[in-house]
Amino acid sequence: MENYLDINRKLWNAKVDSHLKSDFYFVDEFIKGRTSLNSIELELLKEIKGKEILHLQCHFGQDSISLSRMGAKVTGVDLSDKAIEAAKDLAQKCGTDTQFIISDVYGLPHVLDQKFDIVYTTYGTIGWLPDLEKWAKVVSHFLKPGGKLIFVEFHPIVWIFDNDFTFVKYNYFNEEVIVETNEGTYADRTANLADQEVSWNHPTSDVLTSLLQENLQLQSFREYNWSPYPCFQHIEETEKGKFQISKFGNKIPLVFSLVAEKK
C-alpha cells in the first residue's frame, strides 16, 4: 500500500469536524480548562514543567495543549493538515504556545531538527504505521540521551476481534495490511463518514523488540483490563472513567503502557 499515507490523511481529515463537535472530545469544556490526559499517562509523566516534549500523531492537539498547560514546551505532529489547522486554532483559544507540525511519523526527521526530553504518543497510533522498526528509529532519533518515550496504546489483543467482538477476525501478528471502509467514527458512530482506511496489527513482542534494538531501555510495562475511552462496541463503565467490554469483563487487557529511556 504505497499510497497508504494519502488514504489515511483523507480519512483523518474527514474525521476532524465530527470529532470537534462530539461529546467524546468535549472541546467546550477543554477550552475552559479541562485536561484531556488520563490517569494512566499522568502517572507516567509526573513533573514535566520545562520539559521539551514531542507528541507524535497528536490529532487536533488536545493532549499537546494539556501538556503545555502543565508547563512543558510541546511540539505536536500529525499527518492530517486539517487536524493541525484545528490544533493551532484550539491552542490559540486556550492561550498556550504549543507548536504544531504537519508530517507523517517516518518523514518527521526531514522537517524537524530538534531533540526532546520526552517523546509522547498514546491511544490508536501505531496501528496506522506499517513498520515498528522505523517507528522506533524515529523515536530514538528525537530523544536526547536520557530522554524517555512515554507510550500508552490499546492492547493488540483487542484488534484481533471483529467490531462486535463475536469472533477472531484478524491476525494478532503483522502478517498483512488491513484495508477496510468503516461507517461513522469511534467518537460519533452516527457520523456520515465512510472513508477507506489502511492499518496494521502489531504484537506486543514487535513493540518491545523494536525499542530494545534502538538502545531504548524499558523502565516500565503495564497492562490494564480497562480503557479510559468508551470507543468500542459493547462497552460499559465499571468505575468512573474506566470502561470494559461487557462480553469480556476484566478477563482481557484493553490498554498497555510503557516507559523506555534512551541510553
The answer to whether the predicted template modeling score (pTM) of the entire model surpasses 0.95 is yes
Residue 23 scores a pLDDT above 80 = yes
Backbone angles phi, psi at 254, to 5 degrees: -110, -20
- Residue-level pLDDT at 189: 87
Q: Which residue has the cell 494519502?
A: 6
The verdict on residue 14 lying in a domain is: yes
Backbone angles phi, psi at 94, to 5 degrees: -85, -10
Residues 6+ apart with CB under 8 A from 66: 35, 36, 37
The verdict on residue 28 lying in a domain is: yes
The verdict on residue 235 lying in a domain is: no
The verdict on residue 240 lying in a domain is: no
pLDDT in tens, 211-232: 999 999 999 999 999 999 999 9
- Residue-level pLDDT at 232: 95
- Residue-level pLDDT at 2: 87
* End-to-end alpha carbon distance in the chain: 34
Average pLDDT, whole number, for the chain?
A: 97
Query: What CATH number is attached to the domain comprising 49?
Result: 3.40.50.150
pLDDT in tens, 112-169: 999 999 999 999 999 999 999 999 999 999 999 999 999 999 999 999 999 999 999 9
- For residue 61, the enclosing domain spans 3-155+203-230+255-262
Residue 261 scores a pLDDT above 90 = yes
Backbone angles phi, psi at 203, to 5 degrees: -70, 160
**Cα torsion angle, 25, 27, 29, 35, sign:** positive
Amino acid at 234: H
Q: How many domains does the chain have?
A: 1
**Cα torsion angle, 154, 155, 156, 162, sign:** negative
- Residue-level pLDDT at 16: 98
The verdict on residue 180 lying in a domain is: no
The verdict on residue 172 lying in a domain is: no
The verdict on residue 185 lying in a domain is: no
Angstrom distance (rounded) from CA 109 to CA 132: 16
pLDDT in tens, 195-215: 999 999 999 999 999 999 999
3-state class of 129 per DSSP?
Answer: coil
Q: Which residue has the cell 477472531?
A: 168
- Residue-level pLDDT at 1: 75
DSSP 97: -
- Local confidence band at 29 (pLDDT 50, 70, 90 cut-offs): very high
Residue 238 scores a pLDDT above 80 = yes
The verdict on residue 167 lying in a domain is: no
| Greatest alpha-carbon span in the chain | 47
